[in-house]
Chain A
Amino acid sequence: MSVYVGKSVPRRDTRLKATGEARYTADLALPFMLHAAVLRSPYPHARLLRVDTSRAEALPGVRAVITARDASGVKWGVFRYTRDQEFLARDRVRYIGEEIAAVAADTEEIAQEAVALIAVEYERLPAVFDPLDAIADGAPRIHDHAERNINIHVPIHVGDVDAAWDACDHVHTEMTRSEEESYFMTEPYAVLAHCDRQGTVEVWMPNASPHTKAKGLANALELPVSKVHVRHVAIGGAFGGRSDMFPGEYITALLSRKTRRPVRLVYTREENSIAVRQGHSMVVESRFGFKKDGTLHAVDVTCHMDGGAYSSTGPIATSVPFLCFEQTYRVANVRYNGYRVYTNKPIRGMIRTHGRAWACNVDMQLDLAAEALGLDPIEIRLKNALKTGDHTPTQSHIPSMASHETIRAVAEASRFREKWKRLPPWHGIGIGCVSVMSGFPMGIRGGSAAMVKFDEDGGVHLISGVVDNGQGNEGVVLQIAAEALGVPIDQIQLTASATEITPIDQGAYSQATTLVSGNAVRLACEDARRQLFEVAADVLEASAEDLELADGKVFVKGSPARAVPLAKVVRSGLLKGKSVIGHGSFGPNVDQRREWIQNPKGQLSAAFSYGSAVVEVRVDPETGFVDVLDVWASHDCGKAINPKEVEGQMDGGVAMGGHGGILLEALRWHEGANLNTNFLDYKIPLAPDMPPIHNFIVEADDPVGPFGAKEGGLSISMCTAQAYANAIAHAIGTHIREFPHTPDRVLDTIEAREGTEDEAS
């Protein structure tokens, strides 16, 4: 019987967050600290002819000014073949907001004033802001190496799509478009860096992988990784927007190296919106072919994503929407051409619901096919959903997937079938489904390790490289450790992130933490138990195999009276010169030969979760306003380590993916200038906006996940978006092809539909 796993234990970090004791990067200050500010390009595309920093340097209180002349010239990109970004622009700027120079000064005001004194001579170059314009003949070229501005092309073809159409009874083509969304994590980006005279750099910053940051920064600073210490700090949200390297940390470290003083850089909200990451806009063309009985037989999708000025996570971002589709539905013949295109806009990364236009396009196709073939939306999904034991088209085996159970859970709770046939006018109900991976191949940084050590009074220290962006990763590993060790959770201290202490960890990427880091922690605890039992065997005069550890005591199985407290076991060990330290190391079973572009096949992830959502809406035909009445969400996350926390992830997913993603969120532009960089202009859901959410956790214990756990939460963000879109389509009688479905688009679509009906009648 589990004591901690599966229990909604309140998270320890939340006590600090509730009292203001939790320290975020901008809350930290070191003695003698300087303040930094960054000069950013005002133009979307320009050559830098001259950067004159002399007046800035002369300003009293300015301690250092840096430009590309001070930088190593090392370029950043997640892959060797995508390194295209210098952290300080050398001779060309490619988007409004790109970093050109930076200042460290005694105060923030002086740093800002100095930035204004840097004189830059630009030669403006023609710019391009739309991915389809960027690939057209004669478009300005943004990078010399990229013909037609194509940054990444992911080609996948399984089966024979061209030959498959003939065998289909229903074939339909659709085109959808989505604008960029923005992360709007509440904490703006910030960095505190200190380079000391030993040549060591300490860095604090919100991040999704301390070890990846340490490596990237070490590369850029031309230091060994051991000299870069990424520290633990509270982090105010990520959602994919803290994932790779940003110029901020490099610039701050460089300023500190130059001044030999700690330097802090705090982004404004506007800088956080334009100079960290944004979501990709997408244009998706799909062709789906079904057999008479509803079997999905052939799929052909081409997607153009606006990647902005640099590669970032390019090949991954180009692939993930396809992967989420191929993990969800069975299809024998499938072709995907994903293009990530350079434009003169800020750099794009993956965001919680990465690819509204992609995911919703799939569900639109399913609903249209169901209608044409006389099936209902539930039937067609049950028919095609992948499940435990299946393989994806690109050859991932699925060890566990309660797809049917999640679909049925929301269909029944919402009385979908009944409502589908009769709802009042302008009411609609819709369903969406998706499967999300728990990690993907990340090469040498794809695994995690953990250690457990003990104090003489029985206290436990868990050491793990996990990072918590707010989703509760620290709580997850603490609960796993308490369960696996058999020690009260309050007796366990966690040291997380701190790269000079913690062993390697892949980070909070691709929903890997619970499965990968969680397994490393479980293994470390099991190893520690083995060692403790060896020591305790002598004390208890029993054989090690007969011992058990629970509630902080080692005892003989079956005779709990023959017990010895953990503290005594630890001390007996120390007397014999045996300090118990448990080690655990875990690498997920993924195909390391799998490569995003060259070889997109083989086991992608050790586990796949599943999410299904149903949404009911009422649309006001006069205003185009969508009133969301109820959301039902069900999630196979494997074993829910902490059910209330999983629900919290589901709720947050409904808000960001569904409500924000489908009804509200989009970036607005003028000639490459982002016009809505602030909370007042970029609408995210507020408390009164949110509908009631009914959550259902469906646990399909995963054979690999720690205690059966896998990805929790992201599936819901995506499938809710799909359900929102389908519900609106059901209400107004036709799908809207552009995302988000703002009131003007709802009205235009209603009008257009009424127009066609008038013509037809």
Chain B
Amino acid sequence: MSTPRKIVLALTVNGQDHDLLVEPRRTLLEVLREELGLTGAKEGCGTGGCGTCTVLIDGRPARACLTLAADVQGASVLTIEGLADALDGDLHPIQRAFVDAHGIQCGFCTPGMILTAKALLDENPSPDEAEIRQALSGQVCRCTGYAKIVDSVQLAARRLAGEEETP
């Protein structure tokens, strides 16, 4: 098999700048998982159907399995590993809400869910239930029936708005 020519990819991931040498056919998911060791983004299908690979590209949720790495040249990518405060290691309030409100079972959908919830709450800090469900409609969860995921996002919204204390 002939090795295709590689390109230089400049990417900011979780606040850190990288210049990576990658084959042009690589997806962002492959680059994150294999080149950078960021395995928090999952490959539930590889074909756009499940949302477990969701990361934020310049603040917007995107399916990393359908995104060619070369297409996001120069972009800023946030993965689940970059959400918790890197310095004190504490969970981000959305992560903490998912833990406290029992929104996590097997956890395979969780990174994509939490990042999608972050994009929603950044844009709309007090979404109603229907808006939450709509925002999460591209994220498959087979375990929870979504009930406690919705609870988690609502709890996160209340905590972020300062309406409720984090214990």
Contacts and interface: CB of A to CB of B under 8 A. Distances in A.
B133 interface: yes
A186 B91 contact: no
A20 to B, nearest CB: 2
Contact of B48 (A22, A680, A693): A680
Nearest to A234: B107
A269 B45 contact: yes
| Chain B interface mostly | loop
Contacts of A654: 145
Contacts of A24: 39, 42, 108
B142 interface: yes
Interface in A614-670: 644-645, 647-648, 651-656, 659
A236 interface: yes
Interface bracket on B: 35 or more
A20 B142 contact: no
A21 B40 CA distance: 7
Given A24-B42, A26-B43, A687-B150, A679 B140 contact: yes
A469 interface: yes
Contacts of A183: 142
Contacts of B87: none
Contact of A19 (B95, B105, B133, B140): B95
Interface stretch (B67-75, B76-84, B157-165): B76-84
Contacts of A307: none
A19 B52 contact: no
B102 interface: yes
Interface bracket on A: 35 or more
Contact of B47 (A61, A184, A680): A680
Contacts of B150: 687
A187 B105 contact: no
A577 interface: no
> Most chain-A CB neighbours within 10 Å: which of B79, B96, B146, B148?
B146
B80 A19 contact: yes
Interface in A233-264: 234-237, 239
B147 A693 contact: yes
Contacts of B52: 186
A687 B148 contact: no
Contacts of A595: none
Nearest to A8: B102
Contact of A185 (B40, B49, B139, B142): B142
A678 interface: yes
A113 interface: yes
> Most chain-A CB neighbours within 10 Å: which of B39, B114, B136, B143?
B143
A42 interface: no
B39 A20 contact: yes
A648 B144 contact: yes
A644 B95 CA distance: 17
Interface string A261-283: 00000101100000000000000
Contacts of A239: 142
B148 A648 contact: yes
B147 A651 contact: yes
A371 B38 CA distance: 60
B149 interface: yes
A655 B145 contact: yes
Contacts of B106: 17, 185-187, 234-237, 469-470
Interface of B: 1, 33, 38-50, 52, 79-81, 83-84, 91, 95-96, 98-100, 102, 104-111, 114, 130, 132-134, 136-150
20 contacts: A14-B110, A15-B99, A19-B84, A20-B81, A186-B106, A187-B42, A234-B106, A236-B42, A237-B142, A239-B142, A266-B43, A471-B105, A648-B143, A653-B145, A655-B145, A679-B44, A680-B47, A686-B137, A688-B133, A693-B145
